[in-house]
Chains A and B, each alone.
Chain A
Amino acid sequence: MCLAIPGKIISLVDDPAHSAMIEVSGVHRRVDVSLVEPDGIAPGDWVLIHVGFAMSKIREEDAYDQMRMLTALGESEAAMAEVRGYSADSGEGPAKEDSWP
């Protein structure tokens, strides 16, 4: 809804309390991490930043899952195309390159 971007925690800051230094593409910014501290945070974690506050931890496993699913989407498409290719050519071998998406 509003501008929120992912950033990586570089270090936790003592003063002011509940702060951390985060990095976005080489740019450093101090953000308030009160809202994500209960989840447990450490340098190296990725968080979603909005108006100077970390709103949520970015769960790497979920991101990877999503990537895997999206990549698999393409692979299953390719597998389907191959199967279609087989039936069209009456078993003469794998489909030609150009029938792939």
Chain B
Amino acid sequence: MKYVDEFREPELIARTSEEIRRLADPGRHYRFMEVCGGHTHAIYRFGLKDLLPPNIELVHGPGCPVCVLPMGRIDDGLSMAASGDVIFTAFGDMMRVPGTSGSPLEHKARGADIRIVYSPADALKLAKANPDRQVMFFAIGFETTAPSTALTLMRAKAEGVRNFSVFSNHVTIIPAIRAILDSPDMRLDAFIGPGHVSTVIGCRPYEWIARQEGKPIVVSGFEPLDVLQSTAMLLAQLQRGEAKVENQYRRVVPWEGNRAALKAMAEVFTLRSYFEWRGMGFISQSALALNDAYADWDAERRFKVPGIRVTDPKAAQCGEVLKGVLKPAQCKLFGNECTPERPIGALMVSSEGSCAAYYQYEHRKSPLVSIPA
């Protein structure tokens, strides 16, 4: 079994689509939020919306860890790279995200030493290979990625690598979902739950969504079959008048999460009392900072950062798109002033951003070309 091809099998997909059609009440309009940016991309990339009946509306959630960072944080990170002896490292996803004075790539073109890494371990390797330089790793991601950063810091400490530091912009998913549900403009019926975050935190943290808010949530994989099956499971719950947490991604997500990963995170990180999220304001206990035991590797303590709050341009509606209140195409700047080549906000540039997904896969399809499912 290869775990990818099987879950893209066209015949099974067709059958699951049929099942969805059977379960969906034609008199009802469903609003399901897929929290993860990865799910948003999968939906567009595989053309899954074409396979759903028109009364199922998919609302994009804020699960894009790059998109939710306010511009000021990008500026802070880039200010660290201003000094000649610092090597700024980050995932490829960060490179075109706009800061006030340009994206990391633009800073690189102006001479800053900015390099793409594919793993925090690569950044540590770079630090060991360049003992007279400072290597700063701009860490982003939800709980999926935080353990990897944590393990890398533990290794840095154990090996005494002093010229390595991490600028932590890790955020946590539960507060974001809570903020969505608390928002007065939101009316959602159910959630397609994060897949990979759940490999770390497990399924228990979502129980309040079902119990207190009464919304079904299905933790879902990312292959077409996974997303469709999860949609069917949500419909089945709604049909039965149930609301519970289900794990569709059982082959990968353990109900209890990954103890080793949670332990590593607890060893290295502490919860910030509050953190600013683009479009959602300050959310308490929603982000991770290095704790005192790792102070020597904390970029925020090593470098002086401006720490200036930068608000998005007035016309940009990044926040509303992040919360799912607006669809990407409804933002006034979409496709005109804001394109993947000249992005105003990270949503148009990040591989998990809903604007990027919509722009890349969807928005120019003429009504003449809709393929009957």
Contact = CB atoms under 8 A, between A and B. Distances in A.
B328 interface: no
B118 interface: yes
Contact of A55 (B4, B225, B258): B258
B16 A51 contact: no
Given A55-B258, A66-B251, A77-B18, 13 more contacts: A1-B144, A2-B196, A6-B4, A35-B258, A53-B119, A55-B200, A55-B261, A58-B251, A62-B250, A66-B229, A73-B12, A73-B19, A101-B14
Contact of B142 (A1, A51, A56): A1
Interface string A20-42: 00000000000010111110000
Nearest to A61: B251
B15 A63 contact: no
Contacts of B251: 58-60, 62-63, 66
A51 B254 contact: no
Given A52-B148, A58-B252, A73-B16, A1 B38 contact: yes
A64 B251 CA distance: 9
B253 interface: yes
Contact of A71 (B1, B12, B197): B12
Contacts of B141: 2, 51
Contact of B144 (A46, A50, A73, A77): A50
Nearest to A53: B148
A55 B145 CA distance: 9
B196 A65 contact: no
B63 interface: yes
Given A2-B38, A35-B147, A52-B148, A59 B250 contact: yes
Interface of B: 1-4, 6, 11-12, 14-16, 18-19, 35-38, 63, 65, 91, 118-122, 141-142, 144-145, 147-148, 151, 173, 194-197, 199-200, 225, 229, 248, 250-254, 258-261, 264, 351-352
30 contacts: A1-B35, A1-B63, A1-B173, A1-B194, A1-B196, A1-B197, A2-B65, A2-B142, A4-B144, A6-B3, A48-B252, A51-B145, A52-B121, A52-B122, A52-B148, A55-B147, A55-B200, A56-B252, A59-B252, A60-B1, A63-B6, A65-B250, A66-B229, A66-B248, A66-B251, A70-B12, A70-B229, A71-B12, A73-B12, A101-B15
A1 B151 contact: no
Nearest to A34: B151
A16 B36 CA distance: 33
Contact of A56 (B148, B173, B254): B254
A22 B251 CA distance: 18
A81 to B, nearest CB: 11
Contacts of B4: 5-6
Contacts of A63: 1, 3, 6, 251
A50 B145 contact: yes
**Best-surrounded residue of B121, B197, B251 (most CB of chain A within 10 A):** B251
Interface in A54-98: 55-56, 58-60, 62-67, 70-71, 73-74, 77
A1 B15 contact: no
Contacts of B63: 1
A58 B196 contact: no
A101 B18 contact: yes
Contacts of A66: 229, 248, 250-251
A80 B211 CA distance: 35
B287 to A, nearest CB: 16
B152 to A, nearest CB: 9
A56 B197 CA distance: 11
A51 B91 contact: yes
Contacts of B145: 2, 50-51
Contact of B15 (A32, A53, A77): A77
A52 B118 contact: yes
A54 B63 CA distance: 21
Nearest to B254: A56
A72 to B, nearest CB: 10
Contacts of A53: 119, 121, 147-148, 151
Given A1-B38, A51-B118, A73-B19, A35 B91 contact: no
Contacts of B142: 1-2
